[in-house]
Structure 1
Amino acid sequence: MKKYDINQFPRKPLQTTVIGSYPLPGWLEFSAQNLDQFGSEDLAELQSDAVTTVVQDQLRAGLDMITDGEQSRLDFNLSFYGFLQGIKMESTTSRLFGPPAHDQRGKHQIVGQLSAPKGLGTLSDFKKLKQSVAHLDTTPILKASVPGPYTLSGRLLPNSDYIDRYAITEALIPIVQQEIVNLVNAGCQELTVDEPSMSCYAHREDPIRLVDIFNRTVAPVSGKVRLSIHLCFGNYKGRAVGLRQYKPMFPHFLEMDVNEIHLEMASREFSELDIISSIAKVKDVAVGIIDVKSYYIETVSDIADRVRRCLAYAPAEKLSFAPDCGLSQTARWAARKKLTNMVAGVDVVRGELGLC
């Protein structure tokens, strides 16, 4: 089992971060619903201004590590299909009415060889993020996030050439590989590969096969960037989709070639929290201590108590803290308050440990 040198990619103990997505400002969401009324330069300005806005929200909260909030994406992964060639985009979903759920996200037909000659768009997103903080005297850690090939394969329908989800995944691996190589070459030092489908379906799939897929995907950048994986159980419209247990994944997922594993804990009332002990022996562990599915605003005291609970299982230098998942499904006013209290609560414990 590969252990990582904590000094290879140094970071502060009890680091605070986010997963990737952030709520769209209201004006951007309105604009996204009326794209035909904007020119290409207008749209570029909208996206740039949105990144500036969400970066400011994160900086005001005091986060150690920030993202671009994925402001150019429709969802953490759905917009990537617009970059893929060889597919026919579904214009509508099969169920339009009733309670919102994952089955209302469309699935697309494969009509040719899968490719992405112009990439998946994350490189330009990362450049916008870098530009948005270029004026700062002290630059926060910048993180990019990319959906993994297994998760991306979930919205594509198999055909005679790609007979099942695994065949589609294999075709997507080189596409995702090129994307993360481009990000690292552009100076990205912190990279999350989102693979929630692996955590959602590990109970019914072969976890060893999933680990192999992941490790082959990140192989070109292993050791060149601090890598993390986000393992949640789904958050579309605030709904989970998988068996919400980590037991089926471990110990197999400890073989993933990453520096850090992020787990969804807050919405699960910190069930299986003891699992961070085994992770921390070989990797860093990021614990979700903000429930993005709830509009209860965690207090500073709540957060401090949760951090102390985590310290019973893992040392401060191996721990990071974040929301359970991306914040795209959370109202912006709530996201701001939750992040501000998260940082303040972590700082309380940092003070107790003499880390401030």
Structure 2
Amino acid sequence: MTEQAIRTTVVGSYPFPGWLEFVSKNLDQFGTPDIEEAIEDAVIAAIHDQTAAGLDVITDGEQTRLDFNLSFYGFINGIENNPSDTRKFGPAAHDQRGKNNIVGELGAPNGLGAVKEFERLKKLAPKGPVLKASIPGPYTLAGRLLPNQRYKDRYAITEALLPMVRQELEALVAAGCTEITVDEPSMSCYAYKADTQRFVDIFNRTVSTVQGKCHLSTHLCFGNFKGRPVGYRSIRPMLPDFLDFNVDEIHIEMANREFSELELLAPFAEKMKVAVGIIDVKNYYVESVEDVVERIQRCLEHVPAEKLSVAPDCGLSQTARWAARKKLANMVAGAKIVREGL
């Protein structure tokens, strides 16, 4: 079977429709049936925009999530929100994202909610595009939980969360999900100052039971809260250790960094497929079709076409919907031109 050359895909999240933000901030005014209807309508809208653009791979846009990882804490026992531990005023930054105290044994007896999201996506999506689910990895998920006497540091919290994430991945595969992204941006953000071999061990143990049972990828970026990065933005500290991730595909942010270190994609391409972020989700410049063609051609100097996917740098949740639509449409159009010219 010939591999799809230059697949077009997305990381996971998509902008909320404006009315969904209103609903989410006024839940007390809506009944449960109203809320379920709003969720389904939002997923339909996300599916529509992605399929209208012509993407090969789509998601549910993470329309039921408050945030790509914060919403998962609602499924985990033993934690409570700590509203006082975040900065409230001043320029937007990652220290304004929510934090949680650990007040008991961590557990997720009813799963993390990703399976229900995928089942809804299966029900609503048309035939044709591949359906993908995304879930944060345990190290990233541990980042907003505050250590205590029982869980003394982030690594201890990670180890407690790891089996929950692994079980959710297993449940997704059992539900028929053939493509899964495990988001671990915290690993790429802190690779410059952490034990990268330990990161690889954590990741590979997380995915060990689903490896080979789905198209498994990981998303590595440098942060995107309200359009702002947070980590040291270099691929170099990830090498060579991150080459040992047990994945079919690795997704790396490039457009926002002006394609710096593009040549470092080559060693990844020797071991796995590479999804390159060629659309800048932090910038309201809408990349033209010509921009996309030129960027893909540059990527092909380091990644073979059959191993290359193209995508936005990160999820699109922090980008206005009007811009997301145009960016995705131009990305797909540019990819088609290059693919037909191969």
Partner of 2:91: 99
Say if 1:92 and 1:106, in contact at 8 Å, map to a contact too. no
TM-superposed CA distance for 1:92, in Å, is: 5.0
| Structure 1 segment 67-216 matched on structure 2, within 5 A | 67-133=59-125, 136=126, 138-216=127-205
Partner SS for 1:326: coil
1:305 aligns with 2:294: yes
Q: Which residue of 2 aligns with 1:268?
A: 257
Q: Is 1:281 equivalent to 2:270 in the alignment?
A: yes
- 1:167-216, CA deviations, whole angstroms, 9 ceiling, x for partnerless residues? 00000001101111000000000000000000000111000000000000
Using the alignment, how far apart are the partners of 1:313 and 1:155 within structure 2? Answer: 36
Deviation of 1:40 after TM superposition, in Å, equals 1.4
What is the CA-CA distance between 1:276 and the residue it aligns to? 1.2
* AA in 1 matched with 2:159: E
Distance apart, 1:11 and its partner CA: 4.3
SS in 1 for 2:181: strand
| Deviation, structure 1 residue 90 | 1.9
1:226 aligns with 2:226: no
Indicate which of 222, 226, 229 corresponds to 1:240: 229
- 1:342: which partner in 2? 331
Correspondent of 1:330 among 295, 319, 322? 319
Measure the CA separation in 2 of the matches of 1:289 and 1:235: 15
Q: Does 1:317 align with 2:309?
A: no
Contact 2:86 2:99 in 1 (8 A): no
Distance 1:291 1:188 in 2: 28
1:15 and 2:15 matched = no
In the alignment, which residue of structure 1 is the partner of 2:16?
24
CA contact (8 A) 2:70 2:98 kept: no
Give the Cα–Cα distance (whole angstroms) in 2 for the partners of residues 162 and 92 of structure 1: 21
Letter in 2 for 1:151: T
Percent pairwise identity: 63
- Consecutive unaligned residues of structure 2, counting only runs of 5 or more, are none
Instruction: Give the secondary-structure state (helix, strand or coil) at the position aligned to 2:208.
Output: helix
SS for the counterpart of 2:67 is coil
Cα–Cα, structure 1 residues 336 and 79, in superposed 2: closer, same or farther, change >3 Å? same
Q: Which amino acid aligns with 2:26?
A: N
| Cα RMSD (Å) | 0.9
Give the distance between the partners of 1:15 and 1:92, measured in 2 at CA.
Answer: 44
Deviation at 1:93, TM superposition (A): 4.9
1:92 to 1:334, Cα distance in 2 relative to 1, 3 A? farther
> C-alpha separation between the residues in 2 aligned to 1:106 and 1:76?
12
Q: Match for 2:131: what amino acid?
A: L
Distance 2:32 2:108 in 1: 21
In structure 2, C-alpha distance between the alignment counterparts of 1:287 and 1:212, rounded to whole Å: 24
Q: Verify the 8 A CA contact 1:93 1:105 in the aligned structure 2.
A: no
Q: Post-superposition shift, 1:118? A: 1.3
Runs of 4+ in 1 over 4 A off after TM superposition: none
